């Protein structure tokens, strides 16, 4: 306070606030992004497959953790479908994904894997993508070698890839861009040719990638993964989609996958339930006249943290 100055008396009495420790979500403690990254790396070293469900917003992230997920993944397919209602053709922006990622990190304590697509441009764009995702709390960031605009393998049979040297440069840029050395860089190759995939994966490893993510779509996927794993000597991340479940056992997938992500299943299940729910509302009006499974409102309030909000109100709002 400057000499000669004095505080004026308050026109109104100050409210009395309840003292107490920092309030957190019930049964949940804060875990920093760096600590999540350390835990994720330590878990990878155990050699046991990490099964990672795909999420797309704060609610799905909460529910996945509450179900016991060790980690969750924000996948581009689900983002495009849920946020835009559009097919995965990279028509969303990096900042839109970053915003969703930040919400997920804020309401969870588990590692959050993030899909960085092709970095949303060249190596310079990769640098910004990695640093923005990292600042938002991502545990791992996946950068792929598809040409822009990227196309989901579920949409196009053979996506175009950027040239070899450019792809390696983008992975090197991702590795060098991270400010936290614990951040995990996942290098994805969409090459369907085994020899090319091995060449690219080994070069990505040499550039500093921590995990390799191949994308296969044929009956030889398992054998290709075995050969790729042997060649690159890095953990593999495998996306579990319908054709994988139809052709290979869980044991076979766990043989090659250090990380088994399920990016599409959760949102397609939600879409089916929503479709049935809306049909019922329009046809029968009352949902109670259907057999659609619903969470009681009192339970849903707990899921989304009403207890925390009420605690905040008691702590910080003046009594009425």
Residue after which a domain boundary falls, among 228, 245, 263? 263
Tell me, yes or no, whether 227 and 292 share the same domain: no
On whether residue 156 sits in a domain, the answer given is yes
| 59/185 same-domain check | yes
pLDDT for res 217:
80
Clarify whether residues 60 and 122 are in a common domain: yes
Do 182 and 290 belong together in one domain?
no
Going from the C-alpha of 312 to that of each of 127, 246, 268, 273, the distances in angstroms are 38, 48, 35, 33
Give the structural domain span for 237: 33-263
Long-range contacts of 233-238 (CB under 8 A, 24+ apart): 233/205, 234/201, 234/205, 234/209, 234/210, 235/44, 235/210, 235/211, 235/259, 236/211, 236/212, 237/142, 237/186, 237/188, 237/211, 237/212, 237/213, 237/261, 238/213, 238/214
- Please report the pLDDT score of residue 154 as a whole number: 61
On whether residue 24 sits in a domain, the answer given is no
Task: Confirm whether 197 is domain-assigned.
Answer: yes
Domain containing residue 121: CATH number: 3.20.20.60
pLDDT of residue 25: 47
Distances, alpha carbon 1 to alpha carbons 5, 6, 10, 11, in Å: 7, 8, 17, 20
134 plus 159 within the same structural domain: yes
**247 and 284 assigned to the same domain:** no
Whether 20 is in a domain gets the answer: no
SS3 262: strand
At 225 the pLDDT is 96
* Same-domain status, 171 and 41: yes
Q: Measuring CA to CA, which residue among 34, 40, 78 is closest to residue 60? A: 78
Residue 250: predicted pLDDT: 96
Residues 253 and 297 in one domain: no
Domain count of the chain?
Answer: 2
User: Helix axis angle, 123-136 relative to 94-106, nearest 10°?
Assistant: 20
Q: Are residue 64 and residue 115 in the same domain, yes or no? A: yes
Verify that 46 and 190 share a domain, yes or no: yes
Q: Using only C-alpha atoms, what is the Rg of the chain?
A: 23
Per-residue pLDDT at 219: 78
pLDDT in tens, the chain (320 residues): 555 555 566 566 655 555 544 555 444 578 999 999 999 999 999 999 999 999 999 999 999 999 999 999 999 999 999 998 988 887 899 999 999 999 999 999 999 999 999 999 999 999 999 999 999 999 999 999 999 877 766 666 678 999 999 999 999 999 999 999 999 999 999 999 999 999 999 999 999 999 999 998 887 899 999 999 999 999 999 999 988 999 999 999 999 999 999 999 999 999 999 999 999 999 999 998 888 889 999 999 999 988 888 888 888 998 87
Whether residue 87 contacts residue 77, with contact meaning beta carbons closer than 8 Å, is answered with no
Does residue 226 sit in the same domain as residue 282?
A: no
The pTM for the full model equals 0.89
């Amino acid at each position: 306070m400057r000499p000669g100055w004095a505080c004026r008396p308050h026109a109104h009495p100050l409210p009395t606030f309840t003292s107490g420790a920092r309030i957190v979500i019930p049964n949940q403690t804060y875990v920093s992004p760096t600590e999540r990254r350390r835990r994720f790396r330590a878990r990878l070293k155990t050699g046991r497959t990490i099964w990672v469900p795909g999420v797309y917003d704060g609610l799905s992230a909460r529910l996945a953790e509450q179900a016991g997920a060790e980690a969750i993944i924000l996948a581009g397919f689900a983002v495009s479908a849920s946020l835009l209602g559009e097919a995965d053709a990279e028509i969303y922006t990096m900042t839109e994904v970053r915003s969703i990622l930040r919400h997920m990190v804020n309401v969870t304590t588990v590692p959050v894997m993030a899909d960085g697509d092709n970095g949303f441009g060249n190596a310079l764009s990769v640098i910004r993508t990695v640093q923005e995702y990292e600042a938002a709390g991502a545990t791992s960031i996946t950068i792929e070698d598809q040409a822009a605009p990227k196309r989901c393998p579920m949409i196009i049979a053979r996506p175009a890839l950027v040239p070899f040297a450019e792809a390696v440069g983008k992975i090197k840029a991702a590795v060098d861009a991270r400010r936290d050395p614990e951040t995990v860089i996942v290098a994805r190759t969409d090459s369907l040719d085994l020899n090319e995939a091995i060449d690219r994966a080994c070069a990505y490893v040499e550039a500093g990638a921590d995990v390799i993510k191949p994308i296969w779509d044929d009956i030889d996927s398992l054998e290709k993964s075995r050969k790729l794993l042997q060649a690159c000597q890095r953990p593999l991340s495998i996306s579990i989609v319908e054709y994988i479940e139809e052709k290979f056992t869980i044991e076979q997938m766990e043989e090659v996958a250090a990380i088994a992500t399920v990016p599409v299943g959760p949102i397609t299940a939600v879409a089916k339930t929503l479709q049935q729910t809306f049909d019922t509302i329009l046809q029968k009006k009352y949902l109670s006249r259907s057999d659609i499974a619903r969470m009681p409102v009192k339970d849903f309030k707990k899921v989304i943290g009403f207890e925390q909000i009420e605690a905040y109100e008691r702590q910080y709002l003046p009594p009425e």
